[in-house]
Amino acid sequence: MKDKVKCKRFIDAFQQSFTNIKLKNTTTGEIEKIIKELKSKSSCGYDEITTKILIISSPFIASPLIYICNRMLSTGTFPDRLKYSEIKPIYKKGDKTLITNYRPISLLTVFSKIFEKVLYKRLYYHLTLNNILVKEQFGSRCNSSIEIAIYTLLNNIYLSLNNRIIVGGLFCDLQKAFDCVNYDILLSKLKFYGITVVANRLILLKKYIIIGIQPLGRDQSSVSRLV
């Protein structure tokens, strides 16, 4: 209940409204380009289909992929089977007997990556068109990188020092940052920025974020639902 109140206060704090995102249908050219840009790897998800196999078979499976993808965009339903992933623990540092010293890696199917990129392109276009992203946002943007972020930071520091201005820095590193995300607030912000599906249908991103089905391994039949 408190989270819903916080969400309402956040929305009420802003008066500017944004147009709803337009999820236009994908095309053969877009799907083929996305597949070609995938890195050829031998790793795979629970379905054991690698990107190498996908690239080779793309001329024969492009049409059904386009149909499923367009159905996803029109209905606001992300295929449940594409949310399955295989979780593998990757050692970080420290005592190898402690589970907290391992970072979980989620291996999704290559097909889910295609659908994600289709969604990303439309979401990024909407954010750019409405000038929603601030210039200080360097991650996950075209023509931007961590190197540009470092250069910008150092350049601002040097300019300030040259002008005899005191410079201070505050750096925050959140442990398990994604686990700290409040999904109610996140979804409210998405709605405010126009990230919704027309005709009051299910919010596509909401279904994809909240529902995640993850097998623990190929040899295990039990699955856990993340809510």
Length of the chain counted residue by residue: 227
d(CA 109, CA 41): 12
Residue 38's nearest CA partner among 20, 50, 25 is 50
pTM for the model: 0.71
Residue 155: per-residue pLDDT: 94
Residue 176, Cβ density class (10 Å: 0-12 exposed, 13-18 middle, ≥19 buried)? exposed
Whose tokens are 């992933």? That residue is: 85
* Helix, strand, coil % over all residues of the chain, rounded to 5: 50, 10, 40
Highest mean pLDDT among 28-37, 40-49, 208-217: 28-37
Confidence of residue 180 (pLDDT cuts 50, 70, 90): confident
Residue pLDDT, tens place only, 60-111: 999 999 999 999 888 877 787 887 878 888 888 888 888 878 888 878 888 9
Could you give the 3-state DSSP secondary structure of residue 16? coil
Average pLDDT, whole number, for the chain? 78
Give the dihedral sign, CA 153/133/190/7.
positive
Residue pLDDT, tens place only, 156-171: 999 999 999 999 988 8
